[in-house]
Amino acid sequence: MQVYFRKEIQAFEYVSFTEFKNEDELDFCCERLKKYVSIVKAWSGKIGKFCIVEKDTLTPIDYCLFCGDKIEYISVE
C-alpha cells in the first residue's frame, strides 16, 4: 500500500504533513484497514503517518494491523 503525503512548513517553522490522496482514492491493502481509517481519524498531520489511536496516544504504523502488508509513505514535493 502506498500513501502519498506533502510536508508543509508554515509560519514559525510549524511543520505539518498533508495526505496527498484522500481516503476514497487510496488503494487500501484490505477492507479492515479501510474501515478502521474511516471510523478512527488515523492520519496524523504531525507525524505524517497512519497511527493507532489509543486515548491521547498516537503510535505510528508502517505495516497494516490486519493483513501485515507494508505501508510505504512517499513524499511528494
Mean pLDDT, range 15-23, rounded to an integer: 61
Look up residue 10 and give its amino acid: Q
53 pLDDT above the threshold of 80: yes
- Between CA 1 and CA 33 the distance in angstroms is 11
More confident residue, 24 or 47: 47
Give the per-residue pLDDT at 63: 95
Contact predicate 17/48, CB 8 Å = yes
- What cell does 37 get? 481509517
The residues that bridge with 70 in the sheet, in sequence order, are 63
Give the per-residue pLDDT at 14: 62
- What cell does 42 get? 488515523
Residue with cell 481509517: 37
Mean pLDDT, range 58-73, rounded to an integer: 92
